[in-house]
């Protein structure tokens, strides 16, 4: 086995591991849409598209929740 063949095997193994890691990360992102607090941050992705004054807010806040 010469160095070129060893490099080819290493390249193939590295590429395969990176593809598996990428698909695992994508699966993690789409399977766990809510964080620990239960907030779904995917709703915030539409803020740039729905920014008209008549559009509904992403997360409604009541006026009773005033900070001191």
pLDDT digits (tens, 9 = 90+) for 38-63: 777 777 777 777 777 887 777 777 76
Centre a 10 Å sphere on the Cβ of residue 64 and count the other Cβ atoms it contains.
5
DSSP letter assigned to residue 41: G
DSSP state of 55: S
Question: Would you place residue 26 in the very low, low, confident or very high pLDDT band (cuts 50, 70, 90)?
Answer: confident
pLDDT of residue 31: 78
């Amino acid at each position: 086995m010469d160095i070129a063949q060893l490099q080819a095997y290493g390249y193939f193994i590295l590429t395969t591991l990176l593809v598996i890691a990428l698909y695992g990360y994508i699966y993690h992102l789409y399977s766990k849409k809510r964080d620990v607090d239960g907030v779904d941050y995917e709703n915030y992705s539409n803020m740039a598209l729905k920014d008209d004054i008549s559009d509904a807010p992403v997360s409604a806040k009541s006026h009773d929740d005033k900070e001191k």
